[in-house]
């Protein structure tokens, strides 16, 4: 059975979609851990309820020490795939080179990378945006695109209303992408 580690920083709705898909048999894998950089993140509660082991590694003043702690933990968990599901940290080159990591982003990359993608799409006046699943490299949302799904920008959309519609597509796309990737992953890849 393939091993997945989930990285998340916030409420965990995207992670919950993955947890539910494993529970419901849509994804044939084991989620071996959920790791957060935020002690009070709601995703940790969601993982506990799903009986998934959790770890918290708060950002340290010395970023290189934080990178080492995260790398050591992920390596000890021996994942076939790491899924960044709302993890609001840029991962170092040493981590992205060692592990196969995918990320979900609320825009049609390469348009609107970074933490404010939905706000940036609205400010640009685009008629559509969406969600992207991509491989993670050490850049900001610069890894190779795996899958995308479009979402129309509606008249009167706010950042919140548009983001909620994107999240619905994002949850389905991350699960479908993981399902498609699982058979291609070699044990102990990278």
Q: Quick: pLDDT tens for 131-185.
A: 999 999 999 999 999 999 999 999 999 999 999 999 999 999 999 999 999 999 9
Report how many domains make up the chain: 1
Q: Is 80 contained in some domain?
A: yes
Q: Report yes or no on 60 lying in a domain.
A: yes
d(CA 147, CA 104): 10
Q: Of all residues in the chain, what percent carry a pLDDT higher than 70?
A: 98
In angstroms, the Cα distances linking 49 to 77, 135, 137, 167 are: 20, 28, 31, 22
Q: Is 18 domain-assigned?
A: yes
Answer yes or no: pTM beyond 0.85: yes
Active-site pick, 48, 93, 105, 134? 105
Q: Is residue 86 part of a domain?
A: yes
pLDDT of amino acid 186: 79
Contact 109, 81 (CB under 8 A): no
155 occurs within a structural domain: no
Structural domain range at position 76: 2-105+133-149+166-184
User: Annotated catalytic, 105?
Assistant: yes
| 48 within a domain of the structure (yes/no) | yes
| Three-state secondary structure call for residue 113 | coil
* Separation of alpha carbons 31 and 127, rounded Å: 37
pLDDT at 187: 56
12 is a domain residue: yes
Q: What is the CATH number of the domain that holds 78?
A: 3.40.50.170
Nearest CA-CA partner of 150 in 172, 128, 134, 168: 128
* 84 found inside a domain: yes
pLDDT of amino acid 190: 44
Q: Residue 189 above 50 pLDDT?
A: no
Q: Residues 6 or more apart from 110 whose CB is under 8 A from it?
A: 141, 142
Span 43-61, mean pLDDT?
A: 97
């Amino acid at each position: 059975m393939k091993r997945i580690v989930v990285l998340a920083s916030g409420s965990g709705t995207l992670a919950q979609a993955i947890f539910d898909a494993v529970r419901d048999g849509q994804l044939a894998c084991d989620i071996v851990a959920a790791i957060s950089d935020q002690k009070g993140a709601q995703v940790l509660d969601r993982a506990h309820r799903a009986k998934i082991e959790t770890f918290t590694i708060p950002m340290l003043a010395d970023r290189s020490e934080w990178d080492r702690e995260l790398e050591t933990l992920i390596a000890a968990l021996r994942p076939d795939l790491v899924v960044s599901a709302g993890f609001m940290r840029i991962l170092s080159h040493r981590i992205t080179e060692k592990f196969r990591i995918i990320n979900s982003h609320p825009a049609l990359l390469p348009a609107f990378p970074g933490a404010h993608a939905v706000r940036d799409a609205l400010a640009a006046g685009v008629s559509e945006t969406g969600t992207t699943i991509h491989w993670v490299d050490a850049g900001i949302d610069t890894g190779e695109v795996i899958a995308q799904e479009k979402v129309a920008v509606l008249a009167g959309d706010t950042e919140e209303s548009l983001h909620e519609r994107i999240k619905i597509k994002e949850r389905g796309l991350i699960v479908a992408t993981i399902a498609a990737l699982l058979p291609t992953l070699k044990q102990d890849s990278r």
